[in-house]
């Protein structure tokens, strides 16, 4: 498979907005030199047993590269320089792909993206960063702040919820916003700042959700779900429409 062709496909499809299938990856995976990394990719909307699983890597200062493909037949095709230290697998029951990398070296670090080819398109996950940690992993302290009273008093404007995480390592996090039980979408504005590093080596990060003031009060619960390597499940903070935190 030509590297140039794969790079073009990677850049085009990574930015595409497509509803299905959905590929979910954790933000990061930390492994000591010489250890084994298991990079996971959960896939919704298709039977992974019927489709090939693709893996790509993006290393700092380099162009995207195709790592390997696990075809539906079970055959494995590897990119240039990719040895059998890189072992792909699929789990049909849990609808996921896994890329296991043994005897991890510094040169293995980077962001790994899983992908599937479906309906004449490539669909990508958000990428998992393979890291060699420089300190102990620590969980984030997460706070969710409702709109200010000044925003709520302005008719016809917009209101903003802010989710702040601090004291965590490594510095890779990912957030999803929920209105009641539905993920926020459709005209709502969500964004995030770059994670900043503190003197003690931990990180601080924030994300926000902006919605029309008229929609505030139309939902009972507003939630920020944060994903970090320190926790197997999402770290959730919720406020009610009165602005009170709900545990």
Q: What is the domain class of 141-246 according to CATH?
A: mainly beta
Cα within 13 Å of Cα(72), Cβ side = 9
- HEC secondary structure over 101-128: ECCCCHHHCEEEEEEEEECCEEEECCCE
3-131 CATH fold: Immunoglobulin-like (2.60.40)
Gap between the Cα atoms of 230 and 5, Å rounded: 36
Structure-token pair, residue 55: 């893996």
Per-residue confidence (pLDDT) for residue 19, from 0 to 100: 59
pLDDT tens-place string over residues 33-79 = 999 999 999 999 999 999 999 999 999 889 999 999 999 999 999 99
C-alpha distances in Å from residue 190, one per residue of 9, 85, 203 = 27, 39, 21
pLDDT tens-place string over residues 110-135 = 999 999 999 999 999 999 999 999 99
Entry pTM: 0.84
Domains 3-131 and 141-246 share a fold: yes
What is the residue extent of each domain of the chain? 3-131, 141-246
């Amino acid at each position: 498979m030509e590297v140039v062709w794969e790079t073009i496909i990677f850049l085009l499809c990574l930015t595409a907005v497509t509803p299905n299938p959905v590929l979910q990856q954790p933000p990061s995976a930390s492994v000591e030199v010489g250890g084994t990394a298991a990079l996971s990719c959960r896939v919704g909307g298709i039977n992974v047993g019927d489709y090939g699983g693709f893996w790509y890597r993006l290393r700092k200062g380099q162009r995207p590269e195709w790592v390997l493909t696990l075809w539906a037949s079970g055959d494995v095709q590897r990119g240039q320089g990719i040895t059998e230290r890189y072992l792909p697998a699929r789990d049909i029951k849990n609808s996921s792909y896994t890329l296991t990398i043994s005897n991890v070296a510094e040169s293995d670090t980077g962001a790994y993206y899983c992908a599937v080819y479906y309906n004449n398109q490539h669909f990508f996950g958000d990428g998992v960063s393979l890291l060699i940690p420089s300190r102990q992993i620590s969980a984030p302290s997460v706070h969710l702040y409702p709109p200010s009273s000044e925003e709520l008093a302005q008719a016809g404007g917009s209101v903003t919820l802010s989710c702040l995480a601090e004291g965590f390592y490594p510095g890779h996090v990912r957030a999803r916003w929920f209105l009641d039980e539905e993920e926020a979408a459709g005209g709502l504005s969500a964004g995030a700042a770059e994670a900043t590093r503190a003197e003690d080596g931990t990180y601080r990060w924030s994300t926000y959700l902006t919605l029309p003031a008229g929609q505030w009060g139309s939902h009972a619960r507003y939630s920020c779900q944060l994903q970090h390597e320190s926790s197997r499940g999402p770290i959730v903070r919720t406020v009610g429409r009165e602005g009170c935190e709900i545990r």
